[in-house]
Amino acid sequence: MDAQHAPAALPQAAHPTAMALQTPMPAPICLIENSPAGGLQVNREALAQLQAGSQPVVVVAIVGLYRTGKSYLMNQLASRRTGFSLGSTIQSHTKGIWMWCVPHPRRPGHTLVLLDTEGLGDVEKGDAKNDTWIFALAVLLSSTLVYNSLGMIDQRAMEQLHYVTELTEHIQAKAVPGASPAAGEDGAQFVRFFPAFVWAVRDFTLQLRLDGRDITADEYLEHALRLKPGSGQVAQTYNLPRLCLRHFFPTRKCFVFEQPAHREYLHRLEELHDDQLNPGFREQVARFCAHIWATAQTKALPGGHVVTGKLLGDLVVTYVDAVRSGAVPCLESAVLVLAQVENSAAVEAAMACYSAALGPELALPTETLPELLALHAQAEREALRVFMARAFKDDTRQFQSELMRRLEEQKEELCQRNERASLEHCQAALAEVSRDLDACIRDGFYVVPGGYQRFLGDRQEMVERYRQMPGKGIKADAALQDFLTSREPMAQAILHADEALTETEKEVEGAWGRGTA
């Protein structure tokens, strides 16, 4: 689908969860495109829109042969009549992988990410390798994968789904140095990464009956997946796609759809109103959408870590870069790369939380050190809570240790700030309370006999005033002691002057006494 073919979405009533989506996307945008030089590349504008979201994402991708009506179902999942381009000719419209992020209609606070893929088997394109990568990326990125086909589930339909048999050639579960993609792979590893599987059979004209009884669409699918006995080449060819589907996608669902409307109207399907569609088709589409909305799981990494729009964007870049470099996307390696990115971000988020918990206007100094350490401990607990909620696969506790080291540095820096604040406050307080004493010293008030005792009395009064002043903090005593020590030479000078004057006074009095005698 070219940009000019992407129609604007129809207006719709406000949905109660609409405000939950931080950056509503009015229309689909190409996320992974075919580059002019060949191969796939990420559309940076679409990536930025995706990564702007911090909500958990439910990712539904649809794959299938071109011109089979995939885009119509995706528009229905978006609760819109138009959006993803349907096209009305034999040419494929959707190119690459297109994305539409909409508020999830059933889960407040979640974003529904719809991925509409380029039609497989386009005769004009003739690039089977590109098709395989489109299919593989849809599997890797989605939490629910919808496979769309026409007619019935028969051997031809199974053969057209040959991409599933090639997954182990194009996807690696574990990083095994020097090994080929399929070598040593345990298929069970893929199941931990792979999405739920929904087969949508379009223009279905058969009756759902088997051995004289009515069956469900799910039973129809499971019947079609039965294996042929024997070990010959014919049986192996027949069984291979069935074995892969059964093994890689243990969670399976099937929906069958009758033709939407009379053939003459199909070329303008998106323009038709509900009353112009076959009632059976409308009912089937409604059941399909209700099932997807209710059961499609939030995208999660092995271990249960929930994927947000930011993380999904990181996955897109990681996988597409691997494809472009000629490497095989490795699920384990991708998770480890994401873990590095996300855990680093978790450390930064935790440090931001620590700073916020202390507050920009933290009142320093505190009266005691335990009071300060209690504030640090509370902020540290909040920071650890934020880190643990976001971090994953930190098995060696590398990032948690990094966080604790930085928090310890913050505690030491906080203590130093507290001491500096206390010292500055105490010095200011001492300057204030010693102002009168300093004036008396300058004016020679104590340069009289007995002046030293006056000085000691005034100094003690100054000390008492200082001690009664609040908010001095933990450096109160040390600052006072430094102040008194710095003034000790002056005190000694007053003492010596007092002693000299007193001795002179005594001599004068003695001489006066002898004279009168």
Q: Check: pTM over 0.85? Answer yes or no.
A: no
Given pLDDT bands bounded at 50, 70 and 90, which one contains residue 36?
confident
Cβ atoms 307, 154 nearer than 8 A: no
Task: Give the lowest-confidence range in 158-172, 366-380, 438-452.
Answer: 158-172
Dist. CA 136–CA 169, nearest whole Å:
10
pLDDT tens-place string over residues 292-323: 999 999 999 877 889 999 999 999 999 998 88
Asked if pLDDT for residue 493 goes beyond 60, the answer is yes
Asked if pLDDT for residue 486 goes beyond 80, the answer is yes
Dist. CA 172–CA 89, nearest whole Å:
38
Given pLDDT bands bounded at 50, 70 and 90, which one contains residue 187?
low
The strands making up 196-202's β-sheet, listed across from edge to edge, are 40-42, 29-34, 97-103, 111-117, 57-64, 144-150, 196-202, 252-256
- CATH number for the segment(s) 23-173+190-323: 3.40.50.300
- pLDDT score, position 313: 94
Read off the pLDDT of each residue in 131-143 and give the average, rounded to a whole number: 91
β partners of residue 145: 61, 197
Closest C-alpha among 338, 39, 329 to residue 194: 329
Q: What is the DSSP letter of 3?
A: G
For residue 438 the two structure tokens come to 């300093």
104-136 burial string, b = 16+ CB within 10 Å, else e? bbebeebbbbbbbbbbbbbeebeeeebbbbbbb
Residue that has been written with the tokens 């379009």 in this structure: 202
For residue 237 the two structure tokens come to 């060819």
> What are the structural domain ranges in the chain?
23-173+190-323, 342-429, 435-516
Asked if pLDDT for residue 12 goes beyond 50, the answer is no
Closest C-alpha among 161, 286, 169 to residue 224: 161
Dist. CA 193–CA 182, nearest whole Å:
16
Task: Give the lowest-confidence range in 4-13, 202-211, 265-274, 276-285.
Answer: 4-13
The SS3 call for residue 7 is coil
Dist. CA 399–CA 390, nearest whole Å:
12
